[in-house]
Amino acid sequence: MTWRSRLGLGGPAAVAVLVLVLPLVALLLRADWGRVLGDITGGTGVLALRLSLVTTFSTALGCLVLGTPLAWLLARSDGLVTRWLRAVLTVPLVLPPVVGGVALLMTWGRRGIVGQHLTAFGVEIPFTTVAVVIAETFVAMPYYVLAVEGAMRGLDPRLESIARTLGASDLRYLRTVALPLVVPGIASGLALAWARALGEFGATITFAGNLVGTTQTAPLAVYVALQQDPAAATSLSILLLGVSVVVLGLLRGRWVR
């Protein structure tokens, strides 16, 4: 590399690294380390973290169970319907989460197009833990479906021809060949979806509210703490940072690249 390109590319690259890394360093520098453990275990922190873990892993499970078949169907067809469906499915990806929360209220809320019928049976979804999972799934599923569909499209279609002539139905091919071969794609899709769910704020607070122990996830708890006790917010943030790094690290070792 010439000096010119070193400066021309290296300068912006260094700034990019600073933009990304500096806030993380700041978080670590400003933490009141004597308090971190107390902040996390006392108060609402531990409740919020537990709720976050329960809801994000439920979301990941939901993506796996519902999103994998969808990704499979999308990967196998190229019709007009599929292309439109794929475009529509990516809307939650770009939608401001708060708008997503409003849309969810219009669907599952007491007067929502589905919720009004549930109310008749005494079932109310908004402001429950179920609502948190629905909100997180709404924002996270597209990441999962797109990642897994991409991996499935990467499979050599001739493998299926071979498997079929050997006597495998399309479902057996999916189970015994396609799924084992896209495990890395499924893992990175899960990691993406889980991370997105963990950070979910806007749709959750709009649709599920901010009830301690029921719908107040860790990001909501951080936000609330910041209003009253910035040091406690920092402690919780460090905890979230740690959890994210650990979970992604576990996945990265095996599958995520």
Partner 1 sequence: MSDRGLDARIGLSRGRLRLDVSLTAQRGEVLGILGPNGGGKTSTVLALAGVLPLAAGEVVVSGSTWEKAGTRRLPEQRRVGLMLADALLFPHLRALDNVAYGPRSRGVPAKPARVRARAELHRVGLAEHADARPAQLSSGQAARVALARALATDPDLLLLDEPLSALDPETRARTRTDLARRLADYDGVTVLVTHDPLDALTLADRLVFVEGGTVSQVGTPAEVLREPRTPYVATIVGLNLYAAQSDSRGSLTLAGGGLLVTADPTPGEVWATVSPHAVVLHHDRPEGSARNAWPMRVSDVTLQGQSARVSLTGPLELIAEVTLASVAALDIRAGRELWASVKATEVFAYPR
Site residues (vs partner 1, CB under 8 A): 156, 158-159, 161-169, 172, 176-177, 180-181
Least spacing, CB of residue 174 vs partner 1, in Å: 13
- Minimum CB separation of residue 156 from partner 1 in Å reads 7
CA atoms within 13 A on the CB side of 149: 24
Closest CA to 234 of 242, 246, 220, 222: 222
Instruction: Select 116 or 161, whichever has its Cβ closest to partner 1.
Output: 161
Cβ(127)–Cβ(208) below 8 Å: yes
Query: Residue 40 — left, alpha, or beta (φ > 0 → left; ψ -120 to 50 → alpha)?
Result: alpha
Looking at beta carbons only, is 110 or 175 nearer to partner 1?
A: 175
We find the least distance from the C-beta atom of residue 165 to partner 1, in angstroms, to be: 4
Q: Which one, 180 or 253, has the nearer CB to partner 1?
A: 180
Identify which of residues 80 and 171 has a Cβ nearer to partner 1 in the complex.
171
Contact 27, 238 (CB under 8 A): yes
- Mark 6-15 as b/e (b = at least 16 C-beta within 10 Å): eeeeeeeeee
CB of 173 to partner 1, least distance (A): 9
